[in-house]
Amino acid sequence: TAQLHQLAVNAGLEYFGIAVGESAVQQDTTYRNLVNDKREFGQLVPENGQKWDSTEPNRGQFNYRNADIVPNVAKQNGQLLRCHALVWHSQLPGWVNSGSWNRQTLQSVMEVHINNVMGHFKGACYHWDVINEAINDDGTWRPSPFYNTFGTDFFALSFRLAKAADPDTKLYYNDYNLEYNQAKTDKAVELVRIVQAAGAPIDGVGFQGHLIVGSTPSRSALATTLRRFTSLGVEVAYTEIDIRHPSVPSSASARVTQANDYANVVGSCLDVAGCVGITIWGFTDKYSWVPGTFPGTGEALIYDSNFNKKPAWTSISSLL
């Protein structure tokens, strides 16, 4: 029977993969067995374990217990690993968030963090999300300890530190709502140009793809948006796709709309040279961050909560 990663590779993509929850993969055997199927999911990314609050909860004290869970699964199975995320305003420990920094002290904190975390995973990460979500939805720069201290200089700084820590992984800027090709997308283009103008290394832009059933842009509109970035000389990938129903439980017809939306997203990647892969933010509705974060919405993934394939799975597999 058809399996998504294999189909994706045959269609010219580098991988089709998923985010994996650290507790689900340890506690749920059915979940774990599906994660282990590398023909279905050829790439994994840890849902939370590599984030700053998990890896360096106190200054200079690094802990990789949680961070290692998913990378070890990927290694065992021979799956590609996306690594996520180094410089981000969210899931930051309090000591970074509320520290009073100047350029010198924060640069040294960033350098120690990036060197330690990237050093720990050196050789294992196919991609690293170096900067995550630096832009507000209205197209302004997002406040964070990094922006507040360096302004836009933290972009090139982060990529330079990352390149020095692990020269052999692809370095990504990653964000959500870039799919709509509005002010936020314009600002992400500006971010890439700023990094490039500074002579710093950036390899790719991740489109998270946290989308809504019935409001997902068309395949051709999505492809046009992706090409704004590939024309700058960086690759692109969908890194965190989920397409949530605005209200749940969903109807059968809404699940068909969802299937079309998934096909449009995957299709747009096939249409763009330089779109390298697809990652879904989980695979089963049993475990998804969506209902907790967007109350009243959900059923955003491609397997239902009983691990049955949904119409979205079928539409992706027939497209690939």
Pair of tokens at residue 100 = 């009073």
Tally of CB atoms within 10 A around 253: 8
Active-site residue flag, 47: no
Active-site residue flag, 240: yes
* Dihedral of alpha carbons 258, 263, 268, 273, sign: positive
Q: Measured from the CB of residue 48, what is the shortest distance to ligand XIL in angstroms?
A: 5
Residue type at position 156? A
The residues binding ligand XIL (CB under 6 A) are 47-48, 85, 132, 208, 240, 289
C-alpha angle 212-318-181 in degrees, rounded to nearest 5: 35
What is the C-alpha to C-alpha distance for residues 265 and 269, in angstroms, rounded to an integer?
7
Which phi and psi angles does 24 have, rounded to 5°?
-60, -45
The DSSP-derived string for 185-234 is: HHHHHHHHHHHHHTT----EEEE--EEETT-PPPHHHHHHHHHHHHTTT-
Pair of tokens at residue 185 = 């997308």
Q: Measured from the CB of residue 139, what is the shortest distance to ligand XIL in angstroms?
A: 18
The burial of 127, by beta-carbon neighbours within 10 Å (0-12 exposed, 13-18 middle, 19 or more buried), is given as buried
Beta-strand runs (E) in the chain: 15-20, 43-46, 80-88, 127-132, 170-175, 204-207, 210-212, 235-244, 275-280
Would you give the distance in Å from CA 148 to the centre of its chain? 24
Active-site entry in 40, 133, 179, 235: 133
C-alpha angle 18-285-256 in degrees, rounded to nearest 5: 95
Q: Which of 133, 29, 124, 43 is nearest to 86 (CA)?
A: 133
Catalytic positions, written as ranges? 133, 240
